[in-house]
Amino acid sequence: MMSGNIKHIFLKELRSFFNSPVAYIVILVYLVILGWFFTSNLFLSGQATLRTVFEMTPFLLLFFAPAMTMRLISEEKKSGTLELLITKPLREHEIIVGKFLAVLGLYFFTLLPTLVYYITVSFIGSLDLGAVIGGYIGLLLVGSVFLAVSLFGSAITENQVVAFIVSFLIVFALFMLDKVLIYLPSSLASICEYVSVDYHFSNIARGIIDTRDLIYYLSAVTFALFLGTVVLQRRRWMG
Amino acid sequence: MSILVSNLFKLYGDTTAVENISFEVHSGEILGFLGPNGAGKTTTMRIITCYLSPSAGTVRVEGRDVTKESYHVRQLVGYLPEQNPLYLDMNVLDYLEYAAQLQGVHRQLIRRRMKEMVDVCGLGEMKHKDIGQLSKGYRQRVGLAAAMIHDPKILILDEPTSGLDPNQIAEIRNLIQNLGKEKTVILSTHILPEVQATCNRVVIINRGKIVADGPIEDLQRGLHGGERIVLEVELPESETFKTLSVHVKRIPAIESVSLIGEIDGVMKFSVATSQPIDVRKDLYQLCVHQGWGLLELHREQTSLEDIFRELTVDVTR
């Protein structure tokens, strides 16, 4: 159950996404890029599958997650409204969680139109429903991690560009980790594989939902949100 | 005691922003918090509102400690930060509603409080506009309305009139004065007439330390210990300033007499006492007795500007 404060912050931020051009630009650009890859791939491969959606989205998210999130806290720092929030009877984690849920909501609305692909493709051939459901759950989980990490990036600076770049670097590292395993000593490799976002996603995208993967995503999100909360708490002491 | 600040310190790295500050604010009082820019006003207010933590010392608001019971303190206090930050993309009513929700106003009371604040702050015509479209004066009212949305006992206003034109300043000033009847208000500013018009008491702070604390009249009188009285007297031909000062000095408590100017036998001079004793009557009687034509006699008021400058001018510079 969401606490009242989290709900108020969530609704306010979600509304301000949709009251400004941000939400529409994000959704539009995402759909244009994805649509281009999707249609061209579909006819080349001749298979009834949503694989393009599931393969391209984590990659696009490397840019989209920092872009959607960068404003959320850094802007409040810059304009001074964070001072209003901090001096209200709120807990820091309520601010972080409320904003995280809002940007997750925006991400959800960004993914929603891709269901059109499901409908159209299911006319041409039979789709593996399990893989589709798994794929979408996986996308939401990967997105959650990227967005939570980006929210941390937004909390550490009042400059949106810095927030974007820092978030991108962390998210990119998390994404790339399992692609550089061959260069690493085997003792490090298994750790890096575990930390890598994509490694867990590939399991889920096949339609296999393993608790180990779920635990990974949930703990990664929790940890990133925790770090964001600590950043907000720490500023009380620094000034 | 509404607010109790004792031995407060705040350090930023090596620099000391606030150094051993202690003062108190009684319920229902409007306290003017004065000081040059960078003196530590904002830092002190940010500590009282729980935005910053003190490095040492304690602050209690209605008996609650700002570090240990910060959550309660934040419920009690309404705060208008410096520069009045606002969400420019929200419209006035949405913003007031958001502020009320976060401030924990009961859901059934929110509508009523919003309406009251719109009326009190004169936002009726602007309530459906985006805050970004409003003029600075209206934004300031929105900020005040949001700070008061939960009907707080304590209001902390950091330079509420900065950047406003004289009419707007007068309006905000009236608003604060009306509020001050039932609330405890701390108001920081460096606009001195404002303090004179609205505050019961002032605390002057310089370089992180308190340099004066008291009612304005006390400060005006107390700065030099004694009083200064200026006279203009028409003397008979036979008298000079020298003979005059001999007569004047016979009055006990008068410490010195100094000449300001002399035109055509009209002597303008000032008299200083060492203690706050009113010697105006004695001076009047002296004049009558000696047959001097008394043209003017007034007590010199030290203006708040003078006090402020005297206390805050940087000696080392």
Query: What pLDDT digit, counting tens, does each position of A139-165 carry?
Result: 999 999 999 999 999 999 999 999 999
pLDDT higher than 80, residue B302: no
| pLDDT (0 to 100) of residue A124 | 83
Nearest by CB: B89 against A20, A83, A90 = A20
- Residue B274 domain-assigned (yes or no): yes
Structural domain total, chain B:
2
- Smallest Cα distance from A98 to chain B, Å: 12
Domain boundary among B222, B257, B287: B222
Domain's final residue, options B222, B256, B285: B222
Contact status, residue B257 vs residue B282, Cβ threshold 8 Å: no
Predicted local distance difference test score (pLDDT) of residue B225: 60
| B305 located within any domain | no
Do B161 and B236 belong together in one domain? Answer: no
Query: Mean pLDDT, chain A, as a whole number?
Result: 89
What does the pLDDT look like over A15-30, one tens digit per residue? 999 998 989 999 999 9
Inside any domain, residue B310: no
Q: Residue A238's pLDDT band (boundaries 50, 70, 90)? A: low
Mark which residues 68-97 of B lie under 8 Å from A by CB.
71-72, 74-75, 77, 79, 81-83, 85-90, 94
* Boundaries of domain holding A100: 4-238
d(CA A165, CA A100): 19
Say how far apart CA B115 and CA B130 lie, in whole Å.
17
Contact A236 B87 (CB under 8 A): no
**AA letter at B275:** Q
Mean pLDDT of A53-75: 93
Q: Which band of pLDDT confidence, cut at 50, 70 and 90, is reported for residue B172?
A: confident
Cα(A140)–Cα(A159) distance, rounded to whole angstroms? 27
Q: How many domains in chain A? A: 1
Tokens (6 digits) for A213: 């993967």
Q: Say how far apart CA A89 and CA A5 lie, in whole Å.
A: 9
From A73's Cα to the closest Cα of chain B, the distance in A is 13
> Is the ipTM value over 0.95, yes or no?
no
How many residues does the structure list for chain A? 239
Candidate from A20, A83, A90 with C-beta closest to B51: A83
- Residue ranges making up the domain that contains B243: 228-300
Per-residue pLDDT reduced to its tens digit, B32-91: 998 888 888 999 999 999 999 999 999 999 999 999 999 999 999 999 998 899 999 999
Rounded distance, CA B267 to CA B231, Å?
Answer: 8
What percent of chain B clears pLDDT 90, i.e. is strictly above it? 36
> Does residue B176 contact residue B160 with C-beta atoms inside 8 Å?
yes
- Predicted confidence band of residue A179 (pLDDT cuts 50, 70, 90): confident
pLDDT reading at B226 higher than 70: no
**How many CB atoms sit inside 10 A of residue B1's CB?**
12
Report the alpha-carbon distance of residue B59 to residue B65 in Å, rounded: 6
pLDDT, position B270: 85
- B142 and B182 belong to one structural domain: yes
pLDDT average, residue stretch B114-124: 89
pLDDT at position A196 is 84
Concatenated DSSP letters for A89-149?
A: S--HHHHHHHHHHHHHHHHHHHHGGGHHHHHHHHHHS---HHHHHHHHHHHHHHHHHHHHH
Looking at the predicted structure, is the pLDDT value of residue A67 above 70? yes
